Amino acid sequence: MSPDPEKPPRPGLGVVKRAALASILIILLTASTVASAALLEVKTLVDIVKKEGQAIPGVENALDSVDGGQPQTILVIGSDVRYADRNAKGAARSDTLMLVRLDPDKGATAVLSIPRDLRVQIPGYLPQKINAAYALGGPKLTLETVRQLLGVPINHIVETNFSGFRRAVDRLDCVYIDVDHRYYHSNIGLPPSAQYAEIDIAPGYQKLCGTKALQFARYRHGDSDFVRAARQQEFLRQAKGQISLSSVLGDRQELVRIFARYTRTDMRSNDAILRLLKLGFLASKNPLQEVKFPAQPGVGSDLTISPQAIQAMMEEFSSIRATAGERETGDTSTAGNKARKKLKKKTSPALPPGVIADKTNGEAQAIQAASKTPMPVYFVAARLASGGYASGNPAYKPTRAYKIRDRAGKLHDAYRMVLGTGIAGAYYGVQGTNWKAPPILDSPSERRRMRGRSY
């Protein structure tokens, strides 16, 4: 699709025009959630998909067939048109490639993100980055490249643009997500060749809607493909956990319309659409499980992967199962509590290697937060030796006190302290809030009992 001519970037303008991973999965997960309603009005929803959607030409004979009810693997493509390339013919490229395996019997939906900087052999061309396949031959060549690389049958292909992602997130009343640090970029004063999507998202657990949700999922500058993939998949996990069947049943037709309008797929027949809706409904009950892509640094910005690593990765992809559920740890017995109380001398374990004491800076950050919030503020007295609190750069203030609004509209106090690890794109921090039940605490993987309290 050729982009319309537009003025130079301004805040948020370039974001919607860029293609990305998260859009299609949010829309697919939404479609899966509403698929139970499809059993009641199959024809209506199938008609919406056929009327509003577009077909990807030339891929019908390139896909692997699969019987109804069997696991299916979907190739998801997000295309990207950079501002500096907008007037160049053939400038579109695949910004994100992802494989999604729907297999209800395994108890989990497998998700594999393919780094766009991966150097591969593109059929009919010299080796180059995998995202060039889209510019050279569109979805069909991208499909052939991925299948040749990974040796996996691909049953369906979906291509998206991010207007659909933005509208789906807004329609679902946004997503609560933990933002690990401030994401910031301004094009003011930069030449056109150095400009990219502007972004300004403060750190902390918060509610992200349309454009800002897309900015967060898509941001790449300043970190790596691996960091971005982890951030996108965490967004998807949180979104999936916050989308309930009851909240979207009444809006099912509009949600399916969004899916159809802003994606292109190979599916045009009633049977194919219905089979995927049914499979998606069954798989929507299962958690998302990320499969790591073990790429290694190559020459320059290229990434590489060995045949042995590919084989092990794809075996995990096809056999992935849900992880163990919630467990409780710690001594909860009365005898254990009494024994601890009898200890006359408290001992503090030595700090592990790579961690140093830094109570002074931690306390200074807590004082800043305490001056702006009525709630108690806690801080860490140690940190990683390789990192620390953000510098004095006004774009990266390490501590923030703010308000967060829940689904019912009630405001809660919150604060966030941000620390770097010394690795590009990798942060950790301290999050505090007096909101007792934020979505991030739903379905915990572990409960730990300490000093008479459960955490």
**Is the model's pLDDT at 12 over the cut of 60?**
no
Q: pTM of the full predicted structure?
A: 0.71
Asked if residue 133 lies in contact with residue 117, where contact means CB atoms within 8 angstroms, the answer is no
Domain at 13-319: CATH architecture: 3-Layer(aba) Sandwich (3.40)
pLDDT at 435: 97
**Is the model's pLDDT at 296 over the cut of 60?**
yes
Higher pLDDT, 205 or 334: 205
Query: Where in the chain are the domains?
Result: 13-319, 351-454
pLDDT at 87: 42
**Is the model's pLDDT at 344 over the cut of 80?**
no
pLDDT band at 262 (very low <50, low <70, confident <90, very high): confident
Alpha-carbon separation of residue 324 from 241, 298, 364 (angstroms) = 17, 36, 40
pLDDT at 207: 97
pLDDT band at 94 (very low <50, low <70, confident <90, very high): low
Averaged pLDDT score across all residues of the chain = 79
pLDDT at 84: 42
Higher pLDDT, 69 or 283: 69
Higher pLDDT, 91 or 18: 91
pLDDT at 282: 63
Higher pLDDT, 3 or 123: 123
Higher pLDDT, 359 or 285: 359
pLDDT band at 129 (very low <50, low <70, confident <90, very high): very high
pLDDT at 249: 61
Strands 54-55 and 263-265: parallel
pLDDT at 346: 52
pLDDT at 28: 53
**Is the model's pLDDT at 157 over the cut of 80?**
yes
